[in-house]
Homo-oligomer: A and B are copies of this chain.
Amino acid sequence: MAKLIECIPNFSEGRDEKVIEGLVNTAKSVNGVTLLDYSSDASHNRSVFTLVGDEEGIQEVAFQLVKYASQNIDMTKHHGEHPRMGATDVVPFVPIKDVTTEECVEISKKVAKRINDELNIPIFLYEESASTPTRTNLAKVRKGQFEGMAEKLLEEEWAPDFGERKPHPTAGVTAVGARMPLVAFNVNLDTDNIAIANKIAKIVRGSGGGFKYCKGIGVMLEDRNIAQVSMNMVNYEGTPLYRAFETIRFEAKRYGVNIIGSEVIGLTPAKALIDCAEYYLQIEEFDYKKQVLENHLLN
């Protein structure tokens, strides 16, 4: 069984169709890799690619994309709403099948080293690959953005993990790391009071004393006039979706508020949902790997 690894590089270009096309062509040019999806946002001026491949292919395609971006995106001219620090802003590697997070950490370090060796772009390792606890958090790593990186790299605690204390003149700095698959999971409440959604989000998220692998904020769905607890489940094994869901349910009751639905945005690994079915159906000793038919069909 081949190892399958996902890579979701973010590029600081969401407007120039020629450059985006160049990235797509690069993504498709590497053997052993499938481009699952890509999307560009003009106001963010940013594109997100979703690739999956074997151990060798995913490393090669990540490097080739970073190389193409470094040659075709000039950060000195970049404007957009989304925070960013490099032509390739961030390169996460995610374990999908028959591969551990530790192996993805190794992969991320190999790719980080090659990017620096051949393209001279300084690298911060982040998330599971981070060299210090501060660097696990991408927001902290990226703080200061492209324009502030020259100064930041000179600060005592911000020497890059690979490369010199000087950003690439046009490609800036790139964060590379391994992380668990992320599931975007939103729970809708039968209230138009966003304060309630905010209070519940604070309870459920790790930073508020809640579940370690859950990030969350209150959001107003203007078109439906309801409040929502909008979450990123950053490790669905550490914090299963059902646990956040049931906690929101019983916390909402304090306000006489009920859950009226939920949303999963974009892609989710099957296991994130099957783990929930196991909980609710009280299935004893379920062996995900062996008992789910599709797991025998993935090459």
How far does the alpha carbon of A267 sit from the alpha carbon of B297 in the complex, in Å?
A: 12
- Which residues of A (250-299) have their CB < 8 Å from a CB of B? 259-264, 266-270, 273-274, 276-278, 280-286, 291-294, 296-299
Q: Is A245 an interface residue (CB 8 A)?
A: yes
**Residues on the B chain within 8 Å of A34, using CB:** 296-297
Complex partner residue of A293 from B263, B268, B283, B286, CB under 8 angstroms? B268
**Residues on the B chain within 8 Å of A298, using CB:** 294, 297-298
State the main secondary structure of chain A at its contact with B. Answer: mixed
**Residues on the B chain within 8 Å of A245, using CB:** 281
Q: A4-B297, A297-B52, A299-B299 are in contact. Are A270 and B292 (CB under 8 A)?
A: yes
**How many protomers of this protein does the assembly include?**
2
User: Within the complex, what minimum Cβ distance (angstroms) separates A182 from chain B?
Assistant: 11
**Residues on the B chain within 8 Å of A281, using CB:** 241-242, 245, 262, 273, 276
Q: A273-B273, A273-B274, A277-B276 are in contact. Are A296 and B260 (CB under 8 A)?
A: no
**Residues on the B chain within 8 Å of A96, using CB:** 293, 297
Interface size class of A (residues with CB under 8 A): 35 or more
Q: Is A181 an interface residue (CB 8 A)?
A: yes
- For A296, the closest partner residue in chain B by CB is B36
User: Within the complex, what minimum Cβ distance (angstroms) separates A240 from chain B?
Assistant: 10
How far does the alpha carbon of A130 sit from the alpha carbon of B110 in the complex, in Å?
A: 58
**Residues on the B chain within 8 Å of A242, using CB:** 277, 280-281
6 contacts between A and B (CB under 8 A): A52-B296, A97-B297, A242-B281, A267-B296, A270-B270, A273-B274
Chain A residues proximal to chain B, CB less than 8 Å: 4, 6, 34, 36-37, 52, 96-97, 181, 188, 241-242, 245, 259-264, 266-270, 273-274, 276-278, 280-286, 291-294, 296-299
Further 13 A-B residue pairs, CB within 8 A, beyond A4-B297, A37-B296, A270-B294: A96-B293, A241-B281, A245-B281, A269-B293, A270-B270, A273-B278, A273-B281, A273-B292, A274-B277, A276-B276, A276-B280, A277-B277, A294-B298
